[in-house]
């Protein structure tokens, strides 16, 4: 699965609408933020941070398989469109993504770095703009984030 940057990312509605089957679960938008990624940048440099984010993206792609599309939102954030966004699938994907990223640390010059994914979700419906979806996902992410991680 390829990764696209913010400028190339398809608008959620134009990507999924033609692929939806009648009565199928609506897709979800997820924002994944990597707490601790900035520490890698400070400790090991820009190339290490780029490598860590590529590592994380690879793990996300593996977990998603063909069930989602991933793109960079800039900085340490990725956006994911989960094509099946029913509550059970979302809960499973969140657990699978968190475990995969936590259990497979990034190694740079023989030093292990663990990324801590923070994930927020929003249901994609026909009447919500992409900007509003990002806002809802971000608010969900922040509501789950422990106060100890704020500012990372």
Tens of pLDDT, residue by residue over 9-54, are: 444 444 444 444 444 678 999 999 998 899 999 999 999 999 999 9
Strand partners, 107: 112
Strand-strand pairing, 106-108 and 77-82: unpaired
Q: Identify the pLDDT of residue 24.
A: 60
93-151 pLDDT, tens digit each: 999 999 999 999 999 999 999 999 999 999 998 888 999 999 999 999 999 886 544 44
Neighbours of 130 (CB within 10 A): 16
Whether the per-residue pLDDT at 64 is higher than 80: the answer is yes
Whether the per-residue pLDDT at 88 is higher than 60: the answer is yes
Whether the per-residue pLDDT at 92 is higher than 60: the answer is yes
Q: Identify the pLDDT of residue 103.
A: 93
Tell me the average pLDDT across 57-62.
94
What are the counts of helices (DSSP H) followed by strands (DSSP E) for the chain? 5, 6
3-state helix, strand, coil split of the chain in percent (to 5) is: 45, 25, 30
Q: Identify the pLDDT of residue 11.
A: 46
d(CA 43, CA 26): 41
Q: Identify the pLDDT of residue 146.
A: 63
């Amino acid at each position: 699965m390829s990764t696209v940057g913010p400028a190339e990312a398809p608008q959620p509605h134009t990507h999924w609408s033609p692929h939806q089957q009648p009565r199928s679960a609506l897709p979800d938008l997820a924002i994944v933020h990597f707490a601790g990624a900035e520490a890698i940048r400070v400790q090991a440099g820009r190339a290490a941070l780029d490598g860590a984010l590529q590592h994380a993206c690879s793990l996300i792609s593996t977990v998603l398989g063909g069930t989602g599309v991933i793109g960079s939102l800039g900085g340490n954030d990725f956006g994911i469109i989960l094509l099946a966004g029913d509550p059970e699938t979302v809960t499973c994907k969140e657990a699978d993504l968190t475990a995969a990223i936590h259990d497979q640390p990034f190694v740079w010059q023989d030093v292990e770095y663990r990324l801590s994914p923070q994930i927020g979700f929003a249901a994609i419906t026909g009447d919500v703009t992409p900007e509003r979806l990002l806002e809802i996902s971000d608010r969900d992410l922040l509501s789950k984030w422990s106060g100890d991680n704020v500012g990372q």
